[in-house]
Amino acid sequence: MTLTGPAAPPSARSVLARDKLMRTAERLYAEHGFANVSVRQISEAAGQRNNSAVQYHFESREGLIRTILSSRTALVEKHRFAMVEALRGQETVSVEAHYRCLILPNVETYIEAGTPTWCARFFAQALVEPALRDYVVREHLDTPSLRLLDEIGAIRRDGVRPDLFDRHATMVRQLSSHAFAEQEYDLANGHIDPADAADSWRALGRDLITALCGLTTALLGPL
């Protein structure tokens, strides 16, 4: 019987190559859309001599996209879980507190990423890509923090028609993701002074929370 030991950790060179491919793919997909970017273009733009670099590091284009999405989700989760956990045990959770937990972790993640970034536009592109939409929604919602927020938060299904509840969730998702993408575009293209980036992101976060509270009350009624 032959025993196989643990796989060797990836080399520093391999880690750097993966990171460069991910950042390059995120930028190209964000700027040009998924249909207009090939894995060969990604490899070339990332400075990889091997045109099969994406397949080597991620097995496929889909593996690359899913790795990017997972890495971004993990960064947001780092901020969100502590916020949601702080709500545990409260007798009631306000709609505003609910949306603060939904929106502000994204805001802080974008601020930490610096300027320019492409992650918000990448996510918005993925959210409307037919081949990716179901995966994106499932990946984005299937996190410990959002499962907990669904359990203890203010947005409840009780007494709400299922079709209306689902339509409301779609509106919240689309409004927030595309507002973030527009903000990122404006920062990347000099329409907002990079020196004001943090303040601008936080102002958008506050406005989104206000807008989403109004949307929820209008559609679902008082909660």
The whole-number pLDDT of residue 9 equals 66
Rg (the chain; Cα; Å): 20
What pLDDT shows up at residue 170? 93
Q: What pLDDT is stored for residue 56 in this prediction?
A: 93
Angle at 213 between CA 88 and CA 139, to 5 degrees: 60
Walk along the chain (223 residues) in steps of 10 and give the mean pLDDT of each run. 53 89 97 95 93 92 94 94 93 96 97 95 93 86 90 90 95 96 97 97 98 96 82
pTM of the model: 0.90
| Predicted local distance difference test score (pLDDT) of residue 208 | 98
- Predicted confidence at residue 80, as pLDDT, reads 96
